[in-house]
């Protein structure tokens, strides 16, 4: 019988995402000045207060305060009534030097033998459900909030919007795991005070979400996905009622508390390590990107309709201790005898194609470049690769690729290896 699956997203103004964006902006500044920087930056935000703390090994000299204030302002917290204001909030910096005990496990005489920055397992996932090989419920949840932020920043419609918001989408699936329709959409958005009653205020917000936001999101989707938007959708718009107090004044925010929003919305799996504020020597981040790249290229090449890849490391050791692949029974690739390949056989071929040592991952995706701030809101996976120009610490202007782990640059190699 049909079943339901739900994913959520949060906006760039959500307190935890404010913290993520500050941490990644500070990371980017260290990398801009010194690409070899080792950074672990954690951020706490609450009422008119932002604290950064963590461990750094770098030749760079970074003044964190103006970066923190810039990020907060760009998000939209720039009015006194928000009680979290880029211009006036207190800022505290508790960044300090990285432990030499940790550093000795990471750095080696040969760059190629760079050890993993920590033990642990990381997962990457991909599915044919969407054009960007992401789970549909999460993709739609992100799209709702990205479009809501565009409307807020344009300032022409829904002029009452404030930066904090959350979304949630529930998809109804058929027995063959194909989406049948959207069952429920939840949107909660922070807003200004209204002159009218709470009942009229909520009615206006609900009407605007249904007739301004949702049609814009729908218009950007392919025809098959558009068909999932029916009159049967249940909407919950600001279901708790008034939502004026929000952002870091409403709830404190911490780096790394939205790891499921950052990845696959509850599909696949997650190893538990957060991303933002960590340089690429931390395999929590770099190996999660690498496994997403593998899974996406496998699905795009036609090996399977759905793939989960796990890699695991021991701290200070370059070679992974294991690599695991599951296709959830959706394998299409066959061996020489015409039988479908087992997941173990697929993993063996993946091991031949992809060098999963930390240094190789860093080189493959350019992870010493200052490209991380863009990933800190609306998901690290499923994003469109692009470019950004950065003036480096030496005054040179360079162009870097962003979201390099989303490139489909291994499809032909995979097809050759698997005989597809």
Annotated binding site: 14, 16, 42, 55, 98, 164-166, 242-243, 251, 257-258, 274, 278, 282
| Residues contributing to the annotated binding site for ATP | 14, 164-166, 242-243, 251, 257-258, 274, 278
Number of other residues whose CB lies within 10 A of the CB of residue 183: 20
298-to-294, 301, 310, 315, 405 alpha-carbon distances in Å: 6, 5, 14, 28, 13
Token duo for residue 263: 């990845």
Of the candidates 298, 316, 294, 319, the one whose C-alpha atom is nearest the C-alpha of residue 381 is: 294
What CA–CA distance (Å, rounded) separates 312 from 355?
13
| Residues contributing to the annotated binding site for Mg(2+) | 16
Token duo for residue 96: 């300090």
First to last CA, the chain: 34
- Look at residue 83 and give its three-state secondary structure: coil
Task: Note the Cα 93 to chain centre separation in Å.
Answer: 25
- CA atoms within 13 Å, Cβ hemisphere of 288: 28
Phi, psi of 70 (to 5 degrees): -60, -45
Number of other residues whose CB lies within 10 A of the CB of residue 179: 18
What CA–CA distance (Å, rounded) separates 256 from 235?
29
| Residues contributing to the annotated binding site for K(+) | 42
Task: Note the Cα 202 to chain centre separation in Å.
Answer: 30
| Residues contributing to the annotated binding site for L-methionine | 55, 98, 251, 282
Number of other residues whose CB lies within 10 A of the CB of residue 126: 31
Task: Note the Cα 291 to chain centre separation in Å.
Answer: 14
Give the 3-state secondary structure percentages of the chain, helix then strand then coil, rounded to 5: 35, 25, 40
């Amino acid at each position: 019988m049909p079943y339901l699956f739900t994913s959520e997203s949060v906006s760039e103004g959500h307190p935890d995402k404010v913290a993520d964006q500050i941490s990644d902006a500070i990371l980017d500044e260290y990398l801009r000045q010194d690409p070899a920087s080792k950074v672990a930056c954690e951020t706490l935000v609450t009422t008119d207060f932002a604290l950064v703390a963590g461990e750094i090994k770098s030749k760079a000299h970074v003044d964190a305060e103006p970066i923190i204030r810039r990020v907060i302002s760009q998000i939209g917290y720039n009015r006194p009534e928000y009680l979290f204001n880029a211009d006036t909030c207190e800022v505290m910096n508790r960044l300090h030097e990285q432990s030499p005990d940790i550093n000795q496990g990471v750095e080696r005489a040969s760059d190629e033998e760079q050890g993993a920055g920590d033990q642990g397992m990381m997962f990457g996932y991909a599915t044919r459900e969407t054009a960007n090989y992401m789970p549909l419920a999460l993709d739609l949840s992100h799209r709702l909030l990205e479009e809501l932020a565009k409307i807020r920043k344009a300032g022409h419609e829904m002029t009452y919007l404030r930066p904090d918001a959350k979304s949630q989408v529930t998809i109804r699936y058929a027995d063959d795991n194909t989406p049948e329709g959207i069952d429920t959409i939840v949107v909660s958005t922070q807003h200004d005070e209204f002159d009218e009653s709470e009942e009229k205020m909520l009615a206006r917000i609900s009407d605007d979400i249904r007739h301004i936001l949702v049609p814009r999101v729908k218009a950007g989707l392919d025809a098959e996905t558009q068909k999932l938007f029916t009159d049967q959708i249940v909407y919950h718009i600001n279901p708790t009622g008034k939502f004026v107090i929000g952002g870091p004044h409403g709830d404190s925010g911490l780096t790394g508390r939205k790891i499921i929003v950052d990845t696959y919305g509850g599909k696949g799996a997650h190893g538990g390590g957060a991303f933002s504020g960590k340089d690429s020597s931390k395999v929590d981040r770099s190996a999660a990107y690498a496994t997403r790249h593998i899974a996406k290229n496998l699905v795009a090449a036609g090996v399977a309709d759905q793939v989960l890849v796990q890699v695991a490391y021991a701290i200070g050791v370059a070679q992974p201790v294991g690599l695991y692949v599951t296709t959830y029974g959706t394998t299409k690739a066959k061996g020489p005898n015409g039988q479908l390949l087992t997941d173990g056989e697929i993993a063996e071929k993946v091991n031949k194609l992809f060098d999963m040592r930390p240094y190789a991952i860093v080189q493959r995706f350019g992870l010493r470049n200052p490209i991380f701030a863009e990933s800190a809101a609306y998901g690290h996976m499923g994003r469109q690769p692009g470019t950004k120009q950065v003036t480096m610490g030496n005054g040179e202007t360079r162009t870097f690729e962003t979201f390099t782990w989303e490139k489909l640059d291994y499809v032909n190699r995979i097809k050759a290896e698997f005989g597809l």
